[in-house]
A = this chain, B = another copy of it.
Amino acid sequence: MTEFIPPGTRHIALPSPFAMKRGDALHDARMAYETWGRLNAAADNAVLILTGLSPDAHAASHADNAEPGWWEAMLGPGKPIDTDRWFVVCVNSLGSCKGSTGPASIDPATDRPYRLAFPELSVEDGADAAAHVVRALGIDRLACVVGNSMGGMVALALLQRHPGIAHAHINISGAARALPFSIAIRSLQREAIRLDPNWNHGDYDEEAYPEAGMRMARKLGVITYRSALEWDGRFGRVRLDGDRRIDDDPFGLEFEVESYLEGHARRFVRRFDPNCYLYLSRSMDWFDLGESCQGTCEMGLSRLRVDRALSIGVHTDILFPLQQQQEIADGLMAGGADARFLPLPSPQGHDAFLVDIARFGPAVREFLDSL
């Protein structure tokens, strides 16, 4: 039961109690965030970044933490999200284990980790918590909210529940609702964790830890975050050298692609809390901007108040397929926003925004420059 908080992370307390959408409330909860650049006197140059499921708030290096962040190439002086102009805030998601309150945090009512006593978490709760951070930093209206993957869902919920909170929006590989293929994938990832006897209904520790379940969940994640096209070129049918086979098992690793998945799993399993993973994963399945407004998804989108928007996706994304980014742009346009849909030919699938900076960088820069 460990939280993983990068050095230099700052915190803002949430109102206590902090009411949750599906019922119940958090007490003494907090949000972790990091910032880059300076808020100007008019407080109108703020950009909020909302992340995918697993990243922390450390999107890029800064004075308090020189380690490269998960979006280092995108964010900094002179970079596409130019911190010479913008005051950039990245929050760690509510429900995560990287500084914001989540199932791995201490429940003040019991002085023990919440585990499954954490209230049901929805994407909307993450949006409300992010809105509180924005206002606590003295920002009435963001210049732009940028949301990637799950963060794209949180951004739409933020616009829905906090009308006028942002002038502009960049939605990257996001979705206005979960569809059954991605629900099936996430359900299977959660089942892998839950089937691990060490999960023990959430009551594990470092010794008895659901490592096998987390390995499966992460590998299935990586398979759906990338693309067959990328892997054909990158791995083909290349075998591991004999001395890189780490397993005498007749069914052990043999192909490079298997070793790649293994490396990803090893780096992840002990660095993300399994219960937090379950809560965040389930929150995505529940998300539907239409259900939230008792209407269709298109209706939900058309009612969002935002002036300018850019919805970016890639052809090779199987988890948040391209038509979902098209849907976002169309819905925002139907509501009167100046919205653009930008499909990119990145071969890397859902995760392209993390690695294909050559394509995503100019798109993001151009949009922000135009604000």
Contact = CB atoms under 8 A, between A and B. Distances in A.
B235 A180 contact: yes
A184 B237 contact: no
A187 B237 contact: no
Interface stretch (A84-92, A213-221, A299-307, A354-362): A213-221
Interface in A253-271: 253-258, 261
Interface string A320-346: 010000000000000000000000000
A181 B231 contact: yes
A194 interface: yes
Nearest to A288: B237
B257 A184 contact: yes
A253 to B, nearest CB: 8
Interface residues of A, number: 50
A215 B194 CA distance: 13
A21 to B, nearest CB: 16
Contacts of A258: 183-184, 187
10 contacts: A180-B231, A181-B223, A187-B261, A190-B251, A191-B216, A192-B192, A192-B216, A220-B220, A254-B285, A318-B318
Given A192-B216, A195-B215, A184 B250 contact: no
A188 interface: yes
Contacts of A228: 179-182, 318, 321
A219 B318 CA distance: 17
Interface in A272-327: 278, 282, 285, 288, 291, 318, 321
Q: Quick one: which of A185, A220, A228, A232 has the most chain B CB within 10 A?
A: A228
Q: Quick one: which of A185, A191, A234, A282 has the most chain B CB within 10 A?
A: A191
A278 B257 contact: no
A180 B255 contact: yes
A257 B192 CA distance: 17
B223 A184 contact: yes
Contacts of A190: 251
A120 interface: yes
Interface string A203-221: 0000000001001100110
Contacts of A182: 228
A220 B188 contact: yes
Contacts of A261: 184, 187-188
Contacts of A181: 223, 227-228, 231-232
A241 interface: no
A185 B183 CA distance: 17
Contact of A219 (B191, B227, B321): B191
Contacts of A243: none
